[in-house]
Every structure is written in structure tokens, then in C-alpha cells.
Chain A
Amino acid sequence: MSHTIDEIEKKVIAIIAEQAMLDVQDVTAKSTLEEIGIDSLGVVESIFSIEEEFDISVPFNANEPEKSDFDISTVGSIANAIFGLLSEKPA
């Protein structure tokens, strides 16, 4: 199953909105997790939801988030990172 970047972004917005307890229209690709109120525990839970949704394994250690190739700075960057992981995945 291949996903377009738009599809991925839509799913990520839904996951992040649910995590932040917001309506999907209040979350955009430019939103940062911090500004919509997702703390470090929320980040870990969001990544779990993303792994479950896309059946991928996200490299992320909460002790050194900056060292991860998985860029969580915005909703859009998360979608791009998922797109990258999905394209590396064996078909």
C-alpha cells in the first residue's frame, strides 16, 4: 500500500489532533507539537500511534530527540519523515 504525502499528512493531523484533544481544523502542517500542547509523554504516545497506523518502526529515543533522523519539529516534518520511512520499507 503506497501513500501520497497528502494522505500521510491528513492521517498525521488526525493522530496529533486526537492526542492534543483538538479539532482537526485546528492542526495544520505548520503546527509544532509544543504550540498545540503536546508534551514529551504526548510525543512518545503520538509516535506509538504513528507506528501502529503506518506499520513502521520509528527510531526515537526520548533522551536524545535531536539525534533522531525522525524530525518531530512540526506536523509537516513528521509527515515527511513517515513518507521517508515508508519509501524505505520493503514492498
Chain B
Amino acid sequence: MKRVVITGAGTINARGHTVSDTLEAMREGRCGIRDLDIRDVDRLAVKIGGQDIDYDEHSHFNRQQIALYDRFTQFAILSAGQAIAQAGLEFSGSLAARSGVVLGTSGGGLSTQDENYRVVYEEGKNRVHPFVVPKLMNNAAASHVSMQWNLKGPSFTVATACASSNHAMGQAFMMIRSGMADVMVTGGSEAMLCFGGVKAWEGLRVMSKDACRPFSATRNGMVQGEGAGVFVFEEMTRAKARGAEILAEVIGFAMTSDAEDIVMPSRQGAARAIKGAMQDAGIDRSAVGYINAHGTGTAANDKTECAAVADAFGPHADRLMISSTKSMHGHLIGGTGAVELLACIMALRDGVIAPTIGYEEHDPECALDVVPNEARDAKVDVVLSNAFAFGGLNAVLALRGV
């Protein structure tokens, strides 16, 4: 089997428009969750989110592009551009044919749907813009990335709600490992912070109205975020031969299904995915120093995730660190695992563990080292990234430093 390394990273999210800005914010524990600035916010009960309020599409794209690019596509293109520039790759000839793009998203062009439903239902118009369909489709981001960078190999979109990005990156990893592709652009993107996108989550009554406080006894729900994270995954001998800077090695991946409940998480399903990723990586559990948690800040997720980690790691669960950066950037749903992978890379490369901010009070059901409130210096060799989706679909990645 081939080995797979990461040679480029890019992001845009509420905490930064570049990887370095995002990592600096994570190191400093700065919160990007704020009052939402969206149409009809006064009709929402939940009025906060990890919204990128500084983002202006006109400073990045022209009129024709904006007519075709939903916000989630814009985020994916900007992040992919950073990642591919860092990797220093140009795709032509046989490399283009053996390179693809797999991105995760849950809502796809939800803002485009929201805007155009308003036009026909609320405003009573009988005509919509001709590009509504190509703008809202879930594969629009992956397709535009493939077009912009001439990626002609396996390309598609993965939608598994909150695990979409991890499932996408797992696919990319497996494709390179098996020899199907040499380079894969992968990650995820989400832009659900529109009236309909927040109102739908509000209905489920799992949202916090004030803050995301993962693992804290005082947690009262999740907070939505938006943005993208995109990486360049590359076959290792190829990356080394061209002298590319290697950010980390992807060493394992596993996915499981709870086959239980459409919203309630399962300890067994999560634990099987965690154990599976370590088994796939061929590592002993004592090698893992840090886990980037799914850590949504809901009562159900956080206690179930901690129980799953305890199951999977036994006594080593008390020696590893686990944190949730959703406390800073919010829950990016289909893009969340990708932005969170940045915290994993920071742990491996810089020896800095991103904190779980907003942590107020110990919860005996979350009795792990959750790196409360302040980043920590620590040398770790192997890290995991957890994602557990509604629908009981779990995906865990394992990374090693180089």
C-alpha cells in the first residue's frame, strides 16, 4: 500500500481567512462566535453563530463568478487555492488525470435555495435566476475546484451531515493508498448561516443561545459555524521526490454506522470507529497523544464521545488530551472535520494543543483532559480527528507527524 502525506492546507472560517490566522486564533483561544448578521435575524430564537462577518465576496470574485458560486463554493475555492499554492503543484498531463477532488458538505448551496424560495414563495415572483440549479447543487464546489485547477481524476461530493469532511478525506486517503490517484484535493465546505439554515436547526432545540461550551457541565447546546478547510493529499514517494514540504502523514481511517437512531449518538458506534482508525494505522492506542473531538457542546454528544474514548483507550484515556475547537469556530457541519484537521496538524507540527474554550465546570460524564480554555505545549506523535454525524455515521482519521 502507498503512504499518504499532506502537502498543502487552506481555510476560511470565522477565526481566519488563512491557515496561519486560524492557528494563531486557536493558540490564543479566541472565540469567533458572535451575533449573526443575516436577513430576518429578529425572527430567530438562536441569534449567534461562527459567521465570517468580515468576508466580502466581491473582493475575491467577479460578477460572473458570483452568479455561479454559492457561498459554500466560494469558501471551497478560496481554501483550495491556498492549499494548492502551498503544495506548489500544477496539474497537467498525466498528473491531472491522476488527481481529483473529494469534498464534504451537508447543505451545499443552501443559501441559494433559501434566497430563491423567498423569491417565488414570499415575493410571489414566477421567475428565478437561470443558474439556481448549478449554484445550489452539492457537487458545485468540487466541480468548480476541478475546473479551476484541471483536476481530471476521481471527483465527487460526500454528504454525511456532520461527518461529511472526514468521510471525504477518508475517501481521498484510500484512493491514494490503493493507487487509484496520486494527488487528491480534499476537505469540506459549509455555508448554512441563512435564515432557513438556522431556523431548521432551531427547531430541533439542541442549539445554544449564548455559547458553545464542549465538555463543560454548563454546556447547553451547539452553535453553527461556516467556512471551509481544504488539503492536498499526496502519495508520499512522489511528494518526497519533488522536495515538497510535508505537513503530516495520514496513517489511518475508519468509518462505522451506529444503525440505531437518527439523532442520538451511540457509544459503541463511535468507539468502533476510533478503534478502527488505530487498527487501520497499525498503531498501539498508547501512541495517540491528542484527539480533536467532535465535541459539539450538546448534552448527548459530549458524554457519549467521552464514554467512547474511554472504551477505545482504556487506561490510556486518562493520559491523552482531547479538545473541541468548535468552541471557537462553531460547528461547520459538513465542513467541520476539515477545519478541525488544522488543529491536528498544529499539534503534530508545532507541539501546540488547541484548547476547548468556554469551559466552566467539570462534568463527571466528561472526565477527560479536555485542555480547558488555554492552549498547551505538548509533543505528540499521533493524533485522531473524530466526526460523528446525525444518522449515526462515524468517521475517524489518524495522522502522524513527520
Partner of A61, one of B205, B262, B263, B264: B205
Contact of B221 among A47, A48, A63 (CB under 8 A): A63
Q: Is A63 within 8 A of B263, CB to CB?
A: no
B221 touches A40 (CB 8 A): no
Known: A61-B221, A63-B221, A64-B220. A47 touches B205 (CB 8 A): yes
Question: How far is B205's CA from A48's CA once the two chains are assembled, in angstroms?
Answer: 10
Q: How far is the CA of A41 from the CA of B299 in the complex (A)?
A: 14
Chain B residues near A62 (CB-CB < 8 A): 204-206, 221, 299
A39 to chain B, nearest CB (A): 8
Contact with A along B70-114 (1 / 0, CB 8 A): 000000000000000000000000000000000000000000000
Cα of A57 to Cα of B300 in the assembled complex, Å: 24
Interface size on A, residues (CB 8 A): 12
- Proximity bits, B212-224, A CB within 8 Å = 1, else 0: 0000000111000
Complex alpha-carbon distance, A26 and B342, angstroms: 54
Residues on A with beta carbons closer than 8 Å to the beta carbon of B263 = 41
| Residue A44 interfacial (CB < 8 Å) | yes
CB distance from B297 to the nearest CB of A (A): 8
CB distance from A69 to the nearest CB of B (A): 15
Q: Which chain A residues lie closer than 8 Å to B298 at the CB level?
A: 63
Quick one: which of A47, A57, A63, A67 contacts B206, CB cutoff 8 A? A63
**CA distance in complex: A51, B221 (Å):** 21
A40 to B117, CA, bound (A): 31
Q: Is A54 an interface residue (CB 8 A)?
A: no
Residues on the A chain within 8 Å of B205, using CB: 44, 47, 60-62
Q: Which of A27-86 contact B (CB under 8 A)?
A: 40-41, 44, 47-48, 57, 60-64, 67
A47 to B204, CA, bound (A): 11
The A-B contact count (CB < 8 A) is 32
Contacting pair B204 A63 (CB below 8 A): no
Contact B264 A63 (CB under 8 A): no
Binary per-residue interface labels of chain B (345-385) against chain A in the complex, 1 for a CB within 8 Å, 0 otherwise: 00000000000000000000000000000000000000000
Contacting residues, chain B, for A64 (C-beta < 8 A): 220, 299
**CB-nearest residue of chain A relative to B45?**
A57
Min CB distance B212 to A, Å, is 11
Shortest C-beta distance, B389 to chain A (Å), equals 16
Give the number of residues in B that approach A within 8 Å (Cβ atoms). Answer: 16
| 20 extra interface residue pairs, beta carbon distance < 8 Å, beyond A48-B203, A61-B220, A63-B220 | A40-B264, A41-B262, A41-B263, A44-B204, A44-B205, A57-B45, A60-B205, A61-B206, A61-B208, A61-B221, A62-B204, A62-B206, A62-B299, A63-B206, A63-B208, A63-B219, A63-B221, A63-B300, A64-B299, A67-B220
Q: In the complex, how many angstroms separate the beta carbon of A37 from the nearest chain B beta carbon? A: 14
CA distance A77 to B293 in the complex (A): 38
**Beta-carbon nearest neighbor of B262 in chain A:** A41
State which of B45, B262, B299 has its C-beta within 8 Å of the C-beta of A63: B299
A63: chain B residues within 8 A (beta carbon):
206, 208, 219-221, 298-300
Residues of chain A lying within 8 A (CB to CB) of residue B262: 41
Chain B 154-191 per-residue mask, 1 if CB under 8 angstroms from chain A, else 0: 00000000000000000000000000000000000000
Contacts of B299 in A (CB 8 A): 62-64
* CA of A83 to CA of B208, assembled, Å: 26
CA A90 to CA B208, docked complex, whole Å: 27
Docked Cα-Cα span, A85 to B219, in Å, equals 26
Closest 4 CB pairs of A and B: A63-B299, A62-B205, A63-B221, A63-B220
B317 shortest CB reach to chain A, Å = 24
Q: Which residues of B contact A44 (CB under 8 A)?
A: 204-205
CB-CB nearest in chain B for A62: B205
Q: Find chain B residues with CB under 8 A from A57 CB.
A: 45
Contacts of B220 in A (CB 8 A): 61, 63-64, 67
